[in-house]
Structure 1
Amino acid sequence: MNKTSLAPLKRLSNIAATLTLSAFCVSALASDKGEYTEDREACSQYSITKRPLFGDLHIHSRLSFDSYLSSQRNGPDEVYNYAKGLPLTLPGANGEQTVIAQIDRPLDFAALTDHGEFLGQVDACQNPDSILGKLWPMCMMSRAQNLWVQLIAASWWTRLGGQTTGEPSPSNVCLFEDCDGRQISVWNEVQDAAERHYDRSSDCSFTTFVGYEYTDASNQNNLHRNVIFRNEHTTKAPISIYETGQSVVELWTQLEEQCIKGDEGCDVLAIPHNSNLSGGMMFKDPKTPDELRLRRSMEPLVELVQHKGASECRFDRLSGRGVDTTDELCDFEQIPADNLHMLGSVEGEMRSDRGEEVSIDDFARRNMIRNVLKDGVALRSKLGENPFQFGFIGSTDTHSATAGGAQEKGYVGHLGRRDSEYRNVQDHFVSNPGGHAVVWAEENARDAIFEAMRRRETYATSGTRPIVRFFGGDYPADACTAVNRAELGYGKGVPMGAVIESAELNGPARFLVYAQKDAGTATHPGYDLQRIQIIKGWADAEGNTHEQVFEVAGNPNNGATVDPNSCAAVGSGYSELCTVWEDPKFKADENAFYYARVVENPSCRWSTLQCLDAGVNPFSDQCEEQSLAASEKAREEQGASGEVYKNCCRSAENEAFYSPVIQERAWTSPIWIQSAL
């Protein structure tokens, strides 16, 4: 056994995870495994040059109000079993438990992140002890099977969480039920489930993290964070908006006080997600030096993609303009609205004005992470530190307990009955299956994965599983032919997520990037790669921000497409791509960041596959007639209402963002090059 004194690996307030080129090259390939911050066996598989581990750090079970009242009844154990490859039973569109789901491949790690505010209250409604608790209207509506009653309950819950115009306030059911006691009890249940499914043996087959979601969304502007603890040492209870008010800074402060400073062995991260739905509120300039310090230390990562859309960048095909970008690939999985009212479609109709499309001119720049990164390098000169130095991950945000269920084919939805079966195409057409969080770690254990997240050696995928590496430093032109490119990558530079001081470079910045296609499964092989791009963002001497997309490997015009009748791949791409690229516009006195975007050949979107399964071909001239027939069948046989399959016939020519054909992708965490202050 490799045991320790449980002394945490504390970080300095100036974020010691920021790595310089010289410091990293010295220590990157050190062979000492070090000590664990927990009691466990050493992993039999350990790699100095690290290996990619695929996970999901955003998962909801029946312990979340919006999962439970959508007729979803699977709990923490079922979440982890599904993540490990076992089948799961889910509600159909009518709320009956009839849908069988199974992930295409097991995950390496996962974290259950139910809404921290409501753990006790949801339990009180699910399992009331008193007569008044059983008869409390909100709880009765949450347990109901009628869809419209469930939606009224959802509105009630969001008001309690301060997500409308009022302040957060617990439900009055807590006058009759011990919500505080239940909060602790359910939090312990979450921790116990994580422990049961964590493989502490030398096999290291599956890793769990204890976590929860902090759910701040004033007026439905999303400011949510997933709080992930390093090991079994956690706060006594989730720190929620009831403890912090609607202040993310107070969340960071209390996590630092109660966990990092307050509990021997405790360490924690907060991961923001869906800045695309934040109404421009998620990433504001820090008001004080302490706020700057807390943001840098508590939030090294951002969730770039999940089922409520992608937050990299935004480009409107119809207007030919973007939100501070001309990058045409920024039309990928964009949500029309800029707030959580995007979920307001019922029976094919958007029921909220705020759920309608927001124009390019009215869409906040900092809803998009690339713009946040650009502003960060500009702010460094003013603040002395970059407040927005984020690595990238993806996840699902499933509310159906389907951890890692991000595949397009066989996608069963992520919100219980509300997007199950035909309701997925009808009401959640703009959503998507989500993505994966990928870390480069020495072994599949909590410490190694958490440290990878801390140093930002991570990347996001849109749901497939390509293997991607990205290094910056000083590489020879023939680095792609090296016997061990990883050793060369670490030995001559730094990996994704790190920082290079420009004074350390002997000339322009050079990058080594390579990717292998998703191998897929025996029944569903992965798609070929089409190209690798490097995206650069920088601030000039006057503080103005810029970006440029460079095509560095592959062929964007390879002619690959899909068969319009079967969605089978047509044409070929690459099983592997590799290149060494030098920035032709490098200036040592500018602050800049670079990240790689790996793009696959075209494939059919999940909605296209489901439309075809229903007998509606989005590519066909007879699509409208097929849609009417399929909708009539759904009304007769499944009790559906409205024009169920009308969305299938939407045309990419008339849509700002939607297309029946997509290109799956991966985004590496950036590498920053910063000049002397």
Structure 2
Amino acid sequence: MTRQKPHNLKVPVFIAALMALIAHSSLAAGPCKHFAAERQPFFGDLHIHTRYSFDAFLSNQKNDPDGAYRYAKGEMITLPDPFGDQTIEAKIDRAIDFAAVTDHGQFLGEVALCDSDWGTLAWWAPTCIMSRTKNLWVQLYAASQWTLSGGMDGVAPQRSLICDLGDCTAAATTIWADIQAAAERHNDPSDNCEFSAFVGYEYTQGQEAANLHRNVIFKNANVTERPISVFDSNNQVPELWRQLKKQCLDASNGCDVMAIPHNSNLGGGLMFPDPATIEEAHNRRALEPLVELIQHKGASECRFDRLQGIGVDTEDELCDFEQIPSDNLHMLGSVEGKMRSEKGQAVNLSSFHRRNLMRNVLKDGLALEQANGLNPFMPGFIGSTDTHTATAGGAQERQYVGHLGSRDAGFRNIQDHFVSNPGGLAVVWAEENRRDALFDAMRRREAYATSGTRPLVRFFAGDYPENLCEDPTAIKLAYDKGVPMGGILTEQPGDMPPRFYISAQRDSGTALFPSNPLERLQIIKGWVDSNGNTHERVYDVAGSPVNELGVDPLTCAATAPGSASLCTVWQDPDPTPDQSAFYYARVLETPSCRWSTLQCQNMGVNPLSDACPDQLAASTRRAKALGASEDAFKNCCRVAEDEAFYTPTIRERAWTSPIWLQPPP
């Protein structure tokens, strides 16, 4: 039996190759053929794990960063099936424009030693042996050992036995160099500018399984010597910021960096605490201009429980979208159809922390600004996948292959990861598809999140005429007389309330993956009153809601009418003079089938059919033929009327970064 050996632990060879690639990239870079002064949209994924991540490695995932970038560009890669064999071929429906591999920074060396050579002592460490098995239960036990070492189960981070048996620092340096080299290999320095690859990693901190993770993204090839991990930061996010400033921003070598928080929905209320110091507030603002609003572990905009008819500080019924029942990473603890972790059980709405949700974080930022003079919470929005299967940008509902290697491949996806989803995409408005231009767009928050589809959305605030949508120079005027998404608009004494320009075009789709029309445009407003109380309101500003199923129940083809494009100029009918506020746009598509509905239908069990229970009973033979238990597809017949969040059809959507309105000084 031949084993794959993806890396050589001779550090100088990797570093020499990396330096040559960087030099070639720097010399070759020039202006792009496709340059747009008024900017153009680029779709990407800034949260991608490969075999260099412990949890991807122990899930039989064999693709390295090169494989992830090849997938992002539209090439076929091979993935593990539910039993760990490399039998599944996967290809994205459309290439994306940019990506960053973000493997877990704290275990790069340990994983490399586990995956190096049987002749090394570290290869025989118990955690390594368990991580290489194909047995699901052994893999999950190995995962618990990795998370214990990383400080995610209530104890301080500590290096494992693997590092006593091998040189984790040297191995991590090698892999970090390989990650950089892969980004340089796939970054297009020619004037075609077909693809941008960023160097990055994941900072993985999580006390008691609360998700405090950040994706650290570097602007260019000048990066830190090694990833700054929980072992270097004393398991404290503010120390991560200080180290990024010291080793990158203040290094005077051209290094620039940002950290992007993700999964605040699983943060247990700890992702966005009040800053303990002014330094923390400024560092958060400077280093975290974006948050990841959606990925495969759920959406973090807001939360509404349909059964109770109430939300977490919201009355917005569309906040039931892709909600995870629990509030921490134990939501991944379902095995063979049963939740095996007590912490993974559903959390009562009353116990779900307000600041797990970004809309509440934005509102609280306004209140903190009113009280202390500084708003620490002013992030823009992006989406990404958090794939652990190297399927960079693979956020489509159709032919979704899972994001957790063998743990959610095939029937295991419906059986154990039904509450998860394919994730989203990051979209930025930039002049060209170059690292510098994309990074600058992210820094100024001219970005938006999608739930996986690709509508084109623009959002501005300023002094605009009511007929701006009919003006062929609308975008130029929008920039000249206002600010785009992510901007701050400061009112002057005597100013009229601003007008908001919002336009959207439907996803163009493909022959294999047809898109849905647009249903409506909404603007969400948040503000704080003179007493420090926060408020929100949702406005429908264009289009109209669909009140029927909206899909063919047999084929899932879209049937609801909608629009190819929507545009409007809107003015707040209830302005709040002399009070800070934010506004962001939400774009809704007409109903479409959720990934789980499509996969259930492929198994002969249709969630949209009254005959679903009978079909489920007849699916036993098919399940056993796949090697699954007889009830592997029981989730297919869950009844939406009995569920707080789940529905077999969804409204794909996009969320723009907010625009902040500040009163006169």
- What TM-score, normalized by structure 1, do the two folds share? 0.93
- Per the TM alignment, residue 37 of structure 1 is displaced from its structure 2 partner at its CA by 9.0
Once residues 546 and 607 of structure 2 are traced to their aligned partners in structure 1, the CA distance between those partners, rounded to angstroms, is 24
2:642 maps to 1:654: yes
Q: How does 1:11-410 map to 2 (within 5 A)?
A: 40-128=29-117, 130-410=119-399
Instruction: Give the secondary structure class of the aligned counterpart of 1:520.
Output: coil
Residue aligning to 1:675: 663
Once residues 123 and 142 of structure 2 are traced to their aligned partners in structure 1, the CA distance between those partners, rounded to angstroms, is 15
| Contact map agreement 1:560 1:569 (CA 8 A) in 2 | no
Q: How does 1:550-629 map to 2 (within 5 A)?
A: 550-557=539-546, 559=548, 561-629=550-618
- The range that moved more, 176-185 or 624-633, is 624-633
RMSD: 1.3
2:489 counterpart (495, 500, 506): 500
2:627 counterpart (623, 627, 639): 639
What letter corresponds to residue 75 of structure 1 in structure 2?
Answer: D
- The range that moved more, 259-268 or 53-62, is 259-268
Unmatched tracts of structure 2, length 5 or more: 1-24
Instruction: Give the secondary structure class of the aligned counterpart of 2:400.
Output: coil
Residue aligning to 1:29: none
- Per the TM alignment, residue 588 of structure 1 is displaced from its structure 2 partner at its CA by 2.7
- Per the TM alignment, residue 489 of structure 1 is displaced from its structure 2 partner at its CA by 1.1
C-alpha change, 1:182 and 1:657, in structure 2 (3 Å) is same
Once residues 210 and 592 of structure 2 are traced to their aligned partners in structure 1, the CA distance between those partners, rounded to angstroms, is 32
Once residues 233 and 396 of structure 1 are traced to their aligned partners in structure 2, the CA distance between those partners, rounded to angstroms, is 26
Instruction: Give the secondary structure class of the aligned counterpart of 1:67.
Output: helix
- Per the TM alignment, residue 559 of structure 1 is displaced from its structure 2 partner at its CA by 4.6
- Per the TM alignment, residue 642 of structure 1 is displaced from its structure 2 partner at its CA by 5.2
- Per the TM alignment, residue 506 of structure 1 is displaced from its structure 2 partner at its CA by 2.4
Instruction: Give the secondary structure class of the aligned counterpart of 2:428.
Output: strand
| Contact map agreement 2:382 2:425 (CA 8 A) in 1 | yes
Once residues 160 and 252 of structure 2 are traced to their aligned partners in structure 1, the CA distance between those partners, rounded to angstroms, is 31
Instruction: Give the secondary structure class of the aligned counterpart of 2:619.
Output: helix
Once residues 550 and 331 of structure 1 are traced to their aligned partners in structure 2, the CA distance between those partners, rounded to angstroms, is 17
- Per the TM alignment, residue 585 of structure 1 is displaced from its structure 2 partner at its CA by 1.3
Per-residue CA shift, 1:179-210, capped at 9, x if unaligned? 11001000000000000000000000000000
Once residues 362 and 403 of structure 1 are traced to their aligned partners in structure 2, the CA distance between those partners, rounded to angstroms, is 34
Instruction: Give the secondary structure class of the aligned counterpart of 1:114.
Output: coil
- Per the TM alignment, residue 560 of structure 1 is displaced from its structure 2 partner at its CA by 6.4
Once residues 557 and 101 of structure 1 are traced to their aligned partners in structure 2, the CA distance between those partners, rounded to angstroms, is 33
Residue aligning to 1:476: 465
Residue aligning to 1:18: none
Q: How does 1:405-420 map to 2 (within 5 A)?
A: 405-420=394-409
C-alpha change, 1:557 and 1:138, in structure 2 (3 Å) is closer
| Contact map agreement 2:560 2:591 (CA 8 A) in 1 | no
| Contact map agreement 1:533 1:553 (CA 8 A) in 2 | yes
- What TM-score, normalized by structure 2, do the two folds share? 0.95
Once residues 439 and 281 of structure 1 are traced to their aligned partners in structure 2, the CA distance between those partners, rounded to angstroms, is 28
Once residues 72 and 375 of structure 1 are traced to their aligned partners in structure 2, the CA distance between those partners, rounded to angstroms, is 40
| Contact map agreement 2:593 2:650 (CA 8 A) in 1 | yes
Once residues 621 and 234 of structure 2 are traced to their aligned partners in structure 1, the CA distance between those partners, rounded to angstroms, is 48
What letter corresponds to residue 265 of structure 2 in structure 1?
Answer: N
| Contact map agreement 1:474 1:505 (CA 8 A) in 2 | no
Per-residue CA shift, 1:616-673, capped at 9, x if unaligned? 01122221221232243222x1221351000000011000000000000000000000
Instruction: Give the secondary structure class of the aligned counterpart of 2:175.
Output: helix
What letter corresponds to residue 639 of structure 1 in structure 2?
Answer: G
- Per the TM alignment, residue 242 of structure 1 is displaced from its structure 2 partner at its CA by 0.2
- The range that moved more, 661-670 or 642-651, is 642-651
Unmatched tracts of structure 1, length 5 or more: 1-35
Instruction: Give the secondary structure class of the aligned counterpart of 2:190.
Output: coil
Per-residue CA shift, 1:234-277, capped at 9, x if unaligned? 00000000000110000000000000101410000000000000
Instruction: Give the secondary structure class of the aligned counterpart of 1:593.
Output: strand
